[in-house]
Structures are given as structure tokens and as C-alpha cells.
């Protein structure tokens, strides 16, 4: 092989090496993202990625997650019971479980009595569930309203009359409609500060960290073009491994 | 193609959801069967103070409600308790007779796996179980592979029902003349 030919070969190798380096630098960012997120995904339960939720506003905005604008609120004593989506709150504290159709709420004997999802929910002031009473526990069907009568006792209006529980909420008795004077629970507007706090809390319970890590890993986090970008990075990595091997072989000769 | 795939997938998913909750016996029927249709009036026991502590220690978390309903006739008490296996609550019916577990039965099973705990080959192990002095079951219960969490929930509910029944009997002693 002539000197001129060897020089030409060296130049060719050196130019190939430059390309190899550029490809390496370009792929580095993607390799880092895929490797780090992959490590996290392999240990989802250890890192509790599935049970922890994203609270960051910009991330929630990025995913287009919004709290429902409409919410039902009933004042009870000096507190508020609010249903937002399927989440029920006593002031800012969320009650365990999913709920629908808030009929009303009252406060009596240091207990909050909530008519919701065809059930009667008894709550402590610390938002602990004392008991959730269903039809099988004697709760009358088709609850329409809940209130407090002139004697301070709880009463409900149903599609077929008025009913009152005993003090332990074990037995329900029908009441005569004529002698009833009741202060019924009426919905109210929530003060803006509490509304904002609840909306923030609601949004912070929707998006698990695992979802974001998965989307980062696949590239979906970066929008519609993200997966294509990560596909390109994968191709780049394949080329990188080929070019690296080729350079190594050439240098050995 | 995508539409066809969705048409196939959606009914399959719906079927899976519908199958997820299996009601083996309604709680009312369980009580009727236990007391030969002469079901006593329900009463409640509060999980407060030391009871609350015991339950938290037993389950590793607090029970879903602060008070529990029971039905009692002489020395026999019936309980309908709920505990989460992995993700969803399992409804379990229990009968305690004079401090011994007379019957344990899965009434409603909502989890996607672990339903084998409803079979007699498993529940028979609890027959006549009682609590030791340290409030644990007096015997080892063999597990079922693939149903570890459901087995644990069942064992915990058996212990809880026996404990609460013992609390009721303590009250009887305290209130007797």
C-alpha cells in the first residue's frame, strides 16, 4: 500500500471518528434518560412510584389535568362537606373512598352526618369514618334531603316520606309529615381560598409518578414527536455501536 | 383495524370488570342462615382506645370504620367484616360461639386473584380456632400460593372477630351483678 493511500485511509478513519463522537454526544442525553428512568421502573414498588402522585403545577398543566369546576358544598356546623368529582372532603381533609350524589350534610352531637351515594356516612370532626350505613342497615331508600328538626334530631326526606334514626343510627322510624319543622341542609358556595386548596389537592391525587417516569422512558412525555425522537436515538445507538466496533477493528490493523 | 381491535377489547374488559366482584352470599342471607331466620337486633362496638391500638397493630393500619356492627344471641355472635386483600375489600362473615370460631365464610370477593380462600379446604382450618393469651390465633393456618394477601386478610379478620367477641364477653362480666 502506497504512502498516499495510507494517508487517505487515516483521514477517512479520522473523519469517521469525528462522526462517531458527534453521534455519541447526541445520543448521550437519551441514554441518560432511558437508563435512569429504566432503573426507577425496575424498582417501582421500592420507590413507591405507583402510590406517590405528582403535585407540581407545571407538570399537571403539561398533562392537561384540571380539577372539576363544579362542586357541591354543604355547610355543616362551622365546617364544609364538599364533593368534587368522586372525592369527598370535610373542609380540606379527604374522606376515604369514592362517592357520588351528595344530598346534604348536618352536624349533630359532634358527628357529621352526610347523605351521599344512597348511604348515610357518619364522620368524626377529624374526618374519620364512624360507619357507612346502607339500605341493608335500615337506611330508607331514595334520600332527597337531610336536616335537623326542632328537637335537634336528624331527619331525612325520602321519595316516600320522612324518617328519623335512633341515637345509634340502628333503627329508622317513619315520621308524621304534619308535625315537622326542619332546618334542611342547603348547598352553599365555597369560599375561593378553600376552593383553590381543594382543586390543588384533587389535581395532586390524579397523576402517579410512575406514569411520568414511563412516559419519559418511552419519549411520550415530549408529545407526539417524542416517541419518534426516541426511535431516532435508538437508531443512533445502533449506528454508534457499529461505528465504534468498526473504528476499533480498523485501529487494530 | 384499530376500531375492530377496540370492539373486541372493550367487551373483554367489561367482562373482566363484571367478573371482578363475586357475591357468594349476601350478608343478610348469611345472618338469616346463622340465626335460622330469627336474626337478633344489631348492636355496635366502638374501635376506640386500646381496641383501636390492637386493630392498628393487627392490620398494620386502622380499620375502615370506627365502629363495627354485630348480631348476638346468647353466647353466639355474628360479624360481617371487610378487609382489603391487595386492592379491594373482601367481605367476610364470621360466627363466634363461646369464644371459638364456628364459621368463617367469604361473602363478597372483589380482588382479581386469591378467591381460593373461599373453599372449605382452606376455611376448615379455622374451625374452632380461638385466641391465645397474646391475642393471636391458637394455630398455624396453611397459606395458598398466589393468594398470600387474601389469606392474610382472612386470618386478620378471624383474629379481629375473636378479639371483638372477647371484648363483648368482658363487658358482660363487668356489667354482671
Domain ranges across chain B: 22-175
Same domain flag for A189 and A212: no
Report how many domains make up chain A. 2
DSSP H stretches of helix in chain A: 3-42, 57-62, 192-203, 209-218, 226-252
Q: How far apart are the first and last CA of chain A?
A: 13
pTM for the predicted model, two decimal places: 0.73
Same domain flag for A121 and A213: no
Bridge partners of A243? none
Tell me the backbone φ, ψ of residue A76, rounded to 5 degrees.
-140, 115
Instruction: Report the gap between the CA of B56 and the closest CA in chain A (Å).
Output: 14
In chain A, residues with a C-beta closer than 8 Å to the C-beta of B69 are 131, 137
Q: Chain A, 151-180: which have a CB under 8 Å from a chain B CB?
A: 168, 170
Same domain flag for A167 and A221: no
In chain B, residues with a C-beta closer than 8 Å to the C-beta of A96 are 64
Closest by Cβ to B64, choosing from A129, A136, A170:
A129
Do the chains contact at A131 and B69, CB–CB below 8 Å? yes
Same domain flag for A83 and A155: yes
CA closest to A137 among chain B residues: B42
**Exposed e or buried b for every residue in A158-186, given b needs 16+ CB within 10 A?**
beeebbbbeeebbebeebeeeeeebeebe
Do the chains contact at A168 and B66, CB–CB below 8 Å? no
CA closest to A133 among chain B residues: B69
Same domain flag for A82 and A105: yes
Do the chains contact at A96 and B64, CB–CB below 8 Å? yes
Rounded (5°) CA angle A220-A222-A225: 80
Q: What is the pLDDT of residue A183?
A: 92
Domain enclosing residue A155, as ranges: 72-203
Residue A88 lies in a domain: yes
Residue A144 lies in a domain: yes
Res. B20 pLDDT band, cuts 50 70 90? low
Same domain flag for A198 and A219: no
**In this model, does residue A3 exceed pLDDT 80?**
no
**Grid cell locating B98:** 363461646
Do the chains contact at A137 and B41, CB–CB below 8 Å? no
CB contacts < 8 A (A, B):
25
Closest by Cβ to A130, choosing from B28, B41, B65:
B65
Domain boundary, last residue among A203, A222, A240: A203
Domain boundary, last residue among A168, A186, A203: A203
> Could you tell me the sign of the dihedral formed by the alpha carbons of A18, A23, A28, A31, in that order?
negative
**Grid cell locating B126:** 379455622
Q: What is the pLDDT of residue B177?
A: 52
Same domain flag for A122 and A150: yes
Same domain flag for A219 and A100: no
**In this model, does residue A237 exceed pLDDT 60?**
yes
Same domain flag for A177 and A237: no
In chain B, residues with a C-beta closer than 8 Å to the C-beta of A168 are 44
- Report which of B41, B42, B106 is spatially closest to residue B68, judged by C-alpha positions: B42
Instruction: Report the gap between the CA of A246 and the closest CA in chain B (Å).
Output: 42
* A242 shares contact with chain B (CB less than 8 Å): no
Res. B56 pLDDT band, cuts 50 70 90? very high
Burial class (CB in 10 A: 0-12, 13-18, 19+), A32: exposed
**Model confidence pLDDT, tens digit, residues A42-74:** 988 888 888 888 988 889 988 888 888 778 999
Residue A60 lies in a domain: no
Residue A150 lies in a domain: yes
Domain boundary, last residue among A185, A203, A221: A203
**In this model, does residue A179 exceed pLDDT 80?**
no
CA closest to A138 among chain B residues: B42
Instruction: Report the gap between the CA of A131 and the closest CA in chain B (Å).
Output: 5
Mean pLDDT over each residue of chain B, to the nearest integer = 87
Q: Which domain CATH number covers A155? A: 2.130.10.10
Tell me the backbone φ, ψ of residue B162, rounded to 5 degrees.
-65, -40
* B40 shares contact with chain A (CB less than 8 Å): no
Share of chain A above pLDDT 70, in %: 98
How far is A163 from A205, CA to CA, in rounded Å? 37
Q: How far apart are the first and last CA of chain B?
A: 79
SS3 per residue for B112-151: CCCHHHHCHHHHHHHCCCCECCCCCECCCCCCCCCCHHHH
Residue A65 lies in a domain: no
Tell me the backbone φ, ψ of residue B9, rounded to 5 degrees.
-75, -40
How far is A113 from B63, CA to CA, in rounded Å? 20
Same domain flag for A104 and A169: yes
Please state the rounded mean pLDDT for residues A185-199.
89
Bridge partners of A184? A147
Same domain flag for A196 and A217: no
**Model confidence pLDDT, tens digit, residues B98-123:** 999 999 999 999 988 888 999 999 99
**Grid cell locating B155:** 386470618
Do the chains contact at B67 and A130, CB–CB below 8 Å? yes
Please state the rounded mean pLDDT for residues B41-62.
93
Bridge partners of B91? B82, B108
Amino acid at each position: 500500500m502506497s504512502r498516499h493511500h495510507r494517508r487517505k485511509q487515516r483521514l477517512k478513519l479520522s473523519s469517521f471518528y469525528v462522526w462517531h463522537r458527534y453521534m455519541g454526544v447526541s445520543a448521550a442525553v437519551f441514554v441518560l434518560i432511558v437508563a435512569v428512568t429504566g432503573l426507577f421502573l425496575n424498582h417501582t414498588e421500592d420507590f413507591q412510584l405507583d402510590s406517590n402522585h405528582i403535585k407540581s403545577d407545571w407538570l399537571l398543566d403539561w398533562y392537561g389535568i384540571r380539577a372539576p369546576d363544579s362542586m357541591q358544598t354543604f355547610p355543616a356546623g362551622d365546617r364544609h362537606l364538599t364533593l368534587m368529582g368522586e372525592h369527598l372532603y370535610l373542609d380540606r381533609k379527604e374522606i376515604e373512598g369514592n362517592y357520588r350524589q351528595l344530598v346534604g350534610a348536618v352536624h349533630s352531637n359532634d358527628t357529621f352526618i352526610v347523605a351521599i351515594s344512597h348511604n348515610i356516612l357518619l364522620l368524626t370532626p377529624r374526618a374519620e369514618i364512624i360507619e357507612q350505613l346502607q339500605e341493608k342497615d335500615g337506611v330508607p331508600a331514595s334520600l332527597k334531603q337531610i336536616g335537623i328538626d326542632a328537637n335537634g334530631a336528624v331527619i331525612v326526606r325520602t321519595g316516600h316520606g320522612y324518617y328519623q334514626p335512633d341515637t345509634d343510627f340502628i333503627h329508622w322510624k317513619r315520621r308524621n309529615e304534619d308535625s315537622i319543622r326542619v332546618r334542611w341542609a342547603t348547598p352553599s358556595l365555597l369560599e375561593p381560598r378553600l376552593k383553590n386548596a381543594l382543586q390543588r389537592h384533587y389535581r395532586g391525587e390524579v397523576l402517579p409518578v410512575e406514569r411520568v417516569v414511563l412516559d419519559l422512558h418511552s419519549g411520550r412525555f415530549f408529545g407526539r414527536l417524542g416517541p419518534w425522537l426516541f426511535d431516532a436515538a435508538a437508531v443512533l445507538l445502533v449506528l454508534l455501536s457499529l461505528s465504534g466496533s468498526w473504528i476499533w477493528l480498523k485501529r487494530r490493523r | 383495524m384499530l376500531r375492530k381491535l377496540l370492539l373486541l377489547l372493550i367487551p373483554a374488559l367489561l367482562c373482566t370488570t363484571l367478573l371482578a366482584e363475586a357475591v357468594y352470599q349476601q350478608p343478610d342471607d348469611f345472618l338469616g342462615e346463622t340465626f335460622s331466620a330469627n336474626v337478633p337486633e344489631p348492636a355496635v362496638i366502638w374501635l376506640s382506645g386500646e381496641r383501636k391500638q390492637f386493630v392498628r397493630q393487627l392490620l398494620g393500619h386502622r380499620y375502615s370504620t370506627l365502629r363495627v356492627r354485630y348480631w348476638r344471641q346468647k353466647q353466639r355472635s355474628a360479624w360481617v367484616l371487610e378487609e382489603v386483600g391487595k386492592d379491594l375489600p373482601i367481605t367476610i362473615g364470621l360466627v363466634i360461639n363461646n369464644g371459638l370460631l364456628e364459621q368463617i365464610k367469604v361473602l363478597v370477593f372483589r380482588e382479581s386473584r386469591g378467591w381460593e380462600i373461599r373453599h372449605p379446604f382452606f376455611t376448615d382450618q379455622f374451625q374452632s380456632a380461638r385466641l391465645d393469651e397474646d391475642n393471636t390465633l391458637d394455630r398455624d393456618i396453611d397459606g395458598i400460593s398466589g393468594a398470600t394477601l387474601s389469606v392474610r386478610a382472612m386470618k386478620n379478620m378471624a383474629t379481629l372477630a375473636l378479639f371483638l367477641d372477647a371484648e363483648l364477653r368482658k363487658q358482660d362480666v363487668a356489667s354482671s351483678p
